Structure formats: structure tokens, C-alpha cells
Amino acid sequence: MSTKVGDIVEEFHSNNGDRITDKMSTVHRHHETSRKESEDESRLPALEAAYTDILRHLGEDTDREGLLRTPLRAAKAIQFLTKGYHETIDDILNNAIFDEDHDEMVIVKDIDMFSLCEHHMVPFFGKVHIGYIPNKKVVGLSKLARIVEIFSRRLQVQERLTKQIATGISEALQPKGVAVVIEAAHMCMVMRGVQKMNSRTVTSAMLGVYLEDPKTREEFLYLSRRT
């Protein structure tokens, strides 16, 4: 069973390589963790200057009281909102995987998620529901939420985010199956463009038994529904 998941993960990586950018895929992944925390401090002035520029070109007066320190605050804010680039799954999971003879579904649902749309750099946020069927290895529950944090605190596309969370968990645990569902509101749709207030985008990723067995998938979807 776990080899099947492994196959799917392999496929995902190679497909993603072709689909997104060819040579860039490895570069892209290198960039995913290319920002170390120590570098943040040193990059702050450049970000600050960029924000000052932005405010000026929007017609604002950067010397007025309310905006005096805004470039610095905005720079730190956006660094915080993209802090997922710092972290890798290994960093946070290493000591929280336990051998447990449990092979029933485990679901952690309603995990609040905040991310930035990579197309407009505007937030999108919502809830993540994760389910997995362990294969002798279970993970500390809050680690699932931390995995969501790592991948969501980046410039993202909801589809990719969903898949990254699912493959991240598969690689770490080799479970019998992983399912991830994300339901989010995109401010780029709500605040601009079509301006649809109440629309939500739902994406899902099913790996392993969740993909193969419709009943397992159904059970997950039922148990993680909004009550």
C-alpha cells in the first residue's frame, strides 16, 4: 500500500516538474527553503524601500504621521506571512512520529489557514481538513497543523498548497492514505475583479486508499463536513 503512495508522490513530482516549469522546478524547490531566518533581518531594508516606493506611487505622502513607519511594518508583515519558506517538514516532524498499532482513520479538521495568492499577493484564507490512515506510524496531531502552516505561509496557489500538504504528510509517514480538503475565500476575488463576496474555492487531494477506495473517501468527507 505504501509503495502505491510512493508512486503517486513520484508521479506528482515529475509531473509538477513538467507542468510548472521545466528546468525551474528544482530551482523553485531550492528557493522554497532558500530563505533562512537570519537573512530576514538583512533583507528588511530592501523591502522597506520597495514599500516606500509603492506608497509614493499610490499617491500617498509617506511623511505623514500614520505612514511614517508603515514601510517597515509592512515589510515585517509580509516576511511573517511568507515565513513558510524558512521551514521544512523534517525540521518540525522529526521527534513527533510514534509507532502505534492503529490503522483507523485519523482526521484533524477546521485548521485555519492563511496564505497569499501568488498572482496578486493578496490573502486567501479558509479551513483545511486532513485525514490519514496510519501504517504503524502516527504523528503528533499538532504537527499536521504545523505542516499546513509551513506550506500556507508562502506565495501559493490553492491547488498546489493542497497537493503539497498531502505529499508532505505521505513522505513523512508513509501512511496507507492521505486526504486533504481546503475551502478558502480568495480576497483577490472578493475585494477586486469579479467581487463575489460569498464564493469559496474548494480543492482536495486524495492519495493512497483515499484515492482507490470510494468508501474510505466517503467516510472522510462525511466526517470532515461542516456541522
Partner 1 sequence: MDRSKQNKYSSNEKNDNGDGGSVLNGHFDGMVKRAAGGPQAPGAESAPHRSTSAVMESWKEERTRSLEDNEMSLPSLAAAYTTILRGLGENPQRQGLLKTPWRAATAMQFFTKGYQEKIIDVLNDAIFDEDHDEMVIVKDIDMFSMCEHHLVPIFGRVHIGYLPNKRVLGLSKLARQVHLLYFQERLTKQIAVAITEALQPTGVGVVIEATHMCMVMRGVQKMNSKTVTSTMLGNFREDPKTRDEFLRLIKS
Based on CB atoms, which residue is closest to partner 1, 121 or 223?
121
Based on CB atoms, which residue is closest to partner 1, 29 or 218?
29
Residue with cell 499617491: 59
Q: Among this protein's residues, is 158 annotated catalytic?
A: yes
Q: Among this protein's residues, is 188 annotated catalytic?
A: yes
Q: Among this protein's residues, is 119 annotated catalytic?
A: yes
**CB 94 → partner 1: shortest distance, Å?**
23
Catalytic residue, from 120, 171, 183, 212: name it: 120
SS (H, E, C) the chain: CHHHHHHHHHHHHHHHHHHCCCCHHHHHHHHHCCCCHHHHHHHHHHHHHHHHHHHHHCCCCCCCHHHCCHHHHHHHHHHHHCHHHHCCHHHHHCCCEEECCCCCCEEEEEEEEEEEECCCCCEEEEEEEEEEECCCEEECHHHHHHHHHHHHCCEECHHHHHHHHHHHHHHHHCCCEEEEEEEEEEHHHHCCCCCCCCCCEEEEEEEEHHHHCHHHHHHHHHHCCCC
Catalytic residue, from 60, 183, 188, 212: name it: 188
**CB 146 → partner 1: shortest distance, Å?**
14
Q: Among this protein's residues, is 118 annotated catalytic?
A: yes
Based on CB atoms, which residue is closest to partner 1, 20 or 202?
20
Binding site for partner 1 (CB under 8 A): 20-21, 24, 27-28, 31, 34-35, 39, 43, 46-47, 49-51, 53-54, 56-61, 63-67, 69-70, 73-75, 77-82, 85, 112, 114, 118-123, 125, 155, 157, 187-188, 190-192, 197
Catalytic residue, from 48, 79, 86, 117: name it: 117
Based on CB atoms, which residue is closest to partner 1, 187 or 221?
187
Give the residue numbers annotated as catalytic, written as ranges. 117-120, 158, 186, 188
